[in-house]
Structure 1
Amino acid sequence: MNPFSEAKGDTMDAFLFRFEMLVKAHNWPEDKKFLALSNLLTGESLKVLQTLSVEQQTYSCLKQALLKKFLCTAADYNVKFRTAVPTNTEDADAFISRLETVFDK
């Protein structure tokens, strides 16, 4: 799996979704998930890792900190849902699909 890269258009929620699919496929234990994810972080996401205390160095804490940093919390999705407008390249079905995805998150 490639490292997280905002410059290449990665979004944190999609990146973590792919990462968790990989974890499930390999049946990794909880302690291995933290180390594996930390090795895939660069730039701003790596700075998030560096802010965690020793007690917070778990996969769950790292995931929550990353989601918060990259505005992927329930409150952030609430705002995204309420302010969503169709793009020039979206038809009605695509816009509705995007709204459903944001609503579910």
Structure 2
Amino acid sequence: NHLEFYYPMHPNPQIQQHKNKLTNVNIIEPLNHDDLINLMKTCNFIITDSGGIQEEASFLKIPTLVCRDSTERTEILNLTSWLVAPDNLVSFVEMIDKNLLKT
């Protein structure tokens, strides 16, 4: 299974300095709303910590792994979204495998 990841990275230089540490990830410039929605529509799943992305992904019915300790958007959890604490790598990988890759 080949996975391709896209990461719209904030233009802040302190954030940009870390982009070369990511492998197998396509670092892209921040997108306007229409371009973001069009990219999301091509995705098999989304991994995010953004509340707005959670809402858009839920509306588009795209499975989403929410990397936060909690979310204000509890109504979308278990519909197409699952919550996982960002510091729990084992849980993170298990959630991707079980819910997003369906293995």
Larger radius of gyration: 1
Could you say which TM-score interval applies, normalised by the shorter chain? Answer: under 0.3
With normalisation by structure 1, the TM-score equals 0.26
Q: Flag the structure with higher strand content.
A: 2
Greater RCO between the two (CA within 8 Å, min separation 6)?
1
With normalisation by structure 2, the TM-score equals 0.27
